[in-house]
């Protein structure tokens, strides 16, 4: 007797595939869950009166994501907000091949001068979410003479891998529904708007023409906007 294997019908396979797709879509829609948070910590620092906090999230796919906060008065009707991806070589060691430290310091100046603002510093986003190893590979390629754009493409950084959903969860947990976003990146603005955060305005971070010109050119190619809205 011939042993015939049982195969699922095409209709059953289609139903199974649809269930998987719907399950994945529900998983993507589930918001991150707050596991732990601490707010209103004052730490003496060289920048003046800044307040610090932190969140730990359980993401829908099981990952843990930690986010650092630096802020001045987040209780205004409209809060100046920047989502600042960490760059260890720039933020800690003052790397001159990127504008990351410049952008962070300029943001701190803005929120101090306006006495209103929040910096969301998601640790998972270091190296545009490709990690510190690829961050160093990127700067190694720049040292070999590659342009920022070519180096990014070589490492697969031509796409933005960052997930901003935990950043949105921070804003909602703090009761911040309307923001003036500090960014040159239109993708961040679009993500917040799609997530239900009202964008009242945008504050660009203006990089002096004599600084980081190659990085500026690469960011222009990514669609970054260095002028404020008219």
Provide the annotated active-site residues: 160, 162
Q: Name residue, tokens 């999230």.
A: 57
Residue 120 has what DSSP assignment? E
3 state SS of 32: coil
Rg of the chain, C-alpha, whole Å: 21
- Please state, in angstroms and as integers, the Cα–Cα distance from residue 69 to each residue in 54, 133, 147, 167, following that order: 6, 24, 32, 10
Dihedral sign, CA of 69, 112, 106, 199?
positive
Q: How many residues does the chain have?
A: 230
Query: HSE (CB half, 13 Å, CA atoms) of 141?
Result: 17
């Amino acid at each position: 007797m011939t042993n015939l294997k049982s195969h699922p019908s095409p209709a059953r396979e289609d139903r199974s595939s649809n269930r998987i797709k719907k399950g994945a879509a529900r998983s993507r829609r589930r918001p991150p869950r707050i596991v732990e948070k601490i707010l209103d910590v004052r730490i003496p620092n060289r920048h003046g009166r800044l307040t610090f906090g932190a969140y730990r999230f359980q993401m829908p796919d099981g990952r843990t994501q930690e986010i650092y906060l630096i802020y001045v008065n987040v209780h205004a009707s409209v809060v100046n907000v920047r989502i600042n991806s960490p760059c260890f070589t720039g933020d800690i060691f003052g790397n001159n091949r990127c504008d990351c430290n410049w952008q962070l310091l300029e943001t701190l100046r803005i929120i101090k001068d306006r006495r209103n603002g929040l910096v969301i510093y998601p640790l998972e986003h270091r190296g545009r979410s490709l990690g510190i190893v690829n961050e160093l590979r990127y700067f190694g390629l720049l040292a070999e003479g590659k342009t920022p754009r070519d180096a990014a493409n070589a490492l697969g950084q031509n796409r933005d891998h960052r997930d901003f959903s935990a950043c949105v969860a921070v804003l909602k947990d703090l009761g911040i529904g309307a923001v003036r976003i500090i960014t040159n990146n239109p993708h961040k603005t679009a993500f917040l708007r799609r997530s239900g955060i009202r964008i009242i305005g945008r504050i660009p971070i203006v990089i002096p023409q004599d600084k980081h010109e190659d990085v500026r050119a690469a960011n222009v190619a990514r669609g970054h906007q260095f002028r404020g809205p008219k």
